[in-house]
Amino acid sequence: MTNKIEVFRPVWEEDNQANSCYNCGTKFTFTKRRHHCRLCGNIFCNTCSSYRITASHLGYHSAVRCCKECYQLEKEGIEAKSNLKEAMQTNFHQLLKALGIENEELLISDYNLLFEKLANTKNRFDQEIAAKAISYLSFDGQNHWILVKNVYLTQINFVLQNSENKKIFDKIKLTVLNLSMNKQFQPRLVRAVGFQPFIDLLSEDTEKFKLLALTSLADFLRLNEYIAEKLLSSECVSALVSADFPLGANQYLDRALSIFLYSVSDFKRGLEELDTHGAAGLIVTLLVNSELMDIKLNAAHVLHLLADRPRSRKLIIKNDGMNVMKNNAINKESGKLVRLSCRILAKISIDIPESFIQNQGISALISLLRSKHQSDKSLAELVIPQLFTELENSPMWLKPKGLKWLVRLIKSDFPLIQKHAALIMVSQAASNENKIHLVCAGVLIPLTELAMSDNEQVRLAAKCARGMLLL
């Protein structure tokens, strides 16, 4: 009786949670139907999910529907693996003959001999040949069930821990990388050899190795809480942040960061590691450079959570995050991106209040107050008192742009903003010189109207401000 292969497929997004395409933002209607990508589980329109590809590692042995990003990921992974295999294929049989193995179809005894040669530290020549042969065998998934035998994984781990020969070390790392592509054996592989081979590959010069290693690390985070927590306790995040990825690797990097975020709900470690290792700046860069809307959304979602932390807020600001969020806050392609950007703007306002106001930050707060989501309104109601109280005596309000904003704030539809705008005028009107600027800006008429407001706090603040100006 054969064991059933366990497949780790992504959880499909619920139909009622998606009103528009995850990629292009097209609204779903009776004729514009929803379609799930079989590889990531997100919902797309027919056009954005029109790609087809096989994904045997997910249990799909014939071509299935997928989105453009997943199609590119799978295709690049297959091509990278095929190129590496082709490069080694020509010498494989000569390698086996050099070790005394003449069988074209390898027997278990032949595998045993290969690993004995690999573990033989006295004969480096045999070690190198065995390492090359084993790495070649690992390209063929049919060999995986043999290569992941406990005794072989123990020997592989021994070589990784003790070998000083770079040629052998690199071949065995490649073997581990190939074995990691088989999702059935990932838990066993992780427990036997850990994550260091994959982390080491992130610093390699070979771009394909980097991308394959990153894909494996991303897959490991999906397995279970135990494995994900072990990975986050390693140097993985640090290696990820410092790795020199080409621009085209954004989608791989986004996948890894998204899965870190996915893991947070279980044990609250992902964000801590991303914050500690300064990943916020990297994510801002990813948000700017990516052309795919789903990558932008994932990056913005991570930044939104990181923006609660002082260290990450500083990195967002340092990497021009204010302007990036301001531009995204008026993005008509995705309402979700606008909402996330406004939330990030509101959070980083704590560290740069004056720059926030001058860079259309008030518009972001108003957008949050108008949101149909209570969490957005709650965030704005939390930020506004803190922000405006800190800026009550700021000279920026007396500049032309600041005076215009004060008038707009008084005329706004939100009592919370109206009250704080009136309180700002109370503070500014303490100086006779300031009164002239405020009166000339035309604040008396809207203040008079505000003094008749139904909201008691607004009414009192407006009367106080008006009285100060008329003294």
Asked if residue 434 belongs to a domain, the reply is yes
What's the one-letter identity of residue 173? K
Cβ proximity of 453 and 422 under 8 Å: no
Per the structure block, which two tokens stand in for 264?
């947070």
Asked if residue 219 belongs to a domain, the reply is no
Residue 237 Cα distances to 161, 178, 240, angstroms: 21, 22, 5
Dump pLDDT digits (tens) for 325-340: 777 766 666 777 888 8
Cβ proximity of 175 and 134 under 8 Å: yes
CA–CA separation, 77 vs 181, rounded Å?
10
Residue 368 Cα distances to 188, 372, 374, angstroms: 47, 9, 9
CA–CA separation, 85 vs 181, rounded Å?
14
Asked if residue 399 belongs to a domain, the reply is yes
Asked if residue 368 belongs to a domain, the reply is no
Name the more confident of 457 and 357: 457
pLDDT value, residue 79: 63
Q: Is the pLDDT of residue 205 over 50?
A: yes
What's the one-letter identity of residue 56? S
Percentage of residues of the chain with pLDDT beyond 90: 2
pLDDT value, residue 4: 36
Tell me the range of 54-58, 418-422, 428-432 where mean pLDDT is highest.
418-422
Asked if residue 178 belongs to a domain, the reply is no
Tally the residues of the chain.
Answer: 471
Cβ proximity of 230 and 195 under 8 Å: yes
Q: Point out the least confidently predicted range of 36-50, 63-77, 263-277.
A: 263-277
Dump pLDDT digits (tens) for 440-467: 767 777 777 777 877 787 777 777 777 7
Asked if residue 462 belongs to a domain, the reply is yes
Q: Is the pLDDT of residue 266 over 60?
A: no
Query: Average pLDDT, stretch 207-220?
Result: 76
Q: Is the pLDDT of residue 275 over 60?
A: yes
Largest CA distance in the chain: 105
Residue 334 Cα distances to 110, 308, 328, 355, angstroms: 58, 23, 9, 25
Global pTM exceeds 0.85: no
Query: Average pLDDT, stretch 268-273?
Result: 71
Query: Average pLDDT, stretch 197-202?
Result: 81
Residue 137 Cα distances to 90, 98, 172, 190, angstroms: 13, 16, 11, 19
Q: Is the pLDDT of residue 267 over 60?
A: no
pLDDT value, residue 302: 82
φ, ψ for residue 4 (rounded to 5)? -75, 130
pLDDT grade for 45, boundaries at 50, 70 and 90: very high
Q: Is the pLDDT of residue 313 over 80?
A: yes
55: nearest Cα among 154, 181, 188, 217: 181
The total of structural domains in the chain comes to 1
What's the one-letter identity of residue 398? L
Query: Average pLDDT, stretch 394-415?
Result: 76
The burial of 323, by beta-carbon neighbours within 10 Å (0-12 exposed, 13-18 middle, 19 or more buried), is given as: exposed
Range of the domain at 460: 394-471
Q: Is the pLDDT of residue 248 over 70?
A: no
CA–CA separation, 441 vs 275, rounded Å?
44
CA–CA separation, 331 vs 323, rounded Å?
13
- Scored b (16 or more CB within 10 A) or e, 44-69 reads bbeebbebebebebbebeeebbbbbb
> What CATH code is carried by the domain that includes residue 453?
1.25.10
Per the structure block, which two tokens stand in for 60?
């799909």
Query: Average pLDDT, stretch 124-130?
Result: 81
Dump pLDDT digits (tens) for 22-39: 888 888 988 888 999 888
Angle (nearest 5°) at CA 345 between 340 and 351: 145
pLDDT grade for 105, boundaries at 50, 70 and 90: low
Tell me the range of 48-52, 117-121, 317-321, 340-344 where mean pLDDT is highest.
48-52
Cβ proximity of 70 and 37 under 8 Å: yes
Asked if residue 352 belongs to a domain, the reply is no
Asked if residue 405 belongs to a domain, the reply is yes
CA–CA separation, 388 vs 421, rounded Å?
8
What's the one-letter identity of residue 377? K
pLDDT value, residue 260: 66
End-to-end CA distance of the chain: 94
Report the chain's mean pLDDT, rounded to a whole number: 76
